[in-house]
Amino acid sequence: MMYPYPISDKIQRLKQQMLSESRYVSIEQAQIITRVYKENKDEPIIKKRALALTAALETLAIDLR
């Protein structure tokens, strides 16, 4: 991918580190999604996804480096 601006060595290292780490399943996130879907069972799927994302972002801790 071509970037319209130069990418610093630090950003390149952080990107490579992020992409090389193993992904994991979050039980807490799965519980949030399940709860939101059950609470909004009559809503369209796109709205359930948006509500689940909102709830996850408001609830889950974010690991910043």
pLDDT along the chain (65 residues), means of 10: 80 91 89 98 98 96 76
11: alpha, beta or left, given left = phi > 0 and alpha = psi -120 to 50?
alpha
In a domain, 65, yes or no: yes
Residue 5 belongs to some domain of the structure:
no
- Give a yes or no: residue 6 inside a domain: no
Q: Would residue 61 count as lying in a domain? A: yes
pTM: 0.64
In a domain, 1, yes or no: no
Number of domains in the chain: 1
So what's the pLDDT on residue 47?
98
Question: What CA–CA distance (Å, rounded) separates 19 from 22?
Answer: 8
Quote the domain boundaries for residue 28: 24-65
On whether the CB atoms of residues 56 and 35 are closer than 8 A, the answer is no
For residue 36, is it within any domain?
yes
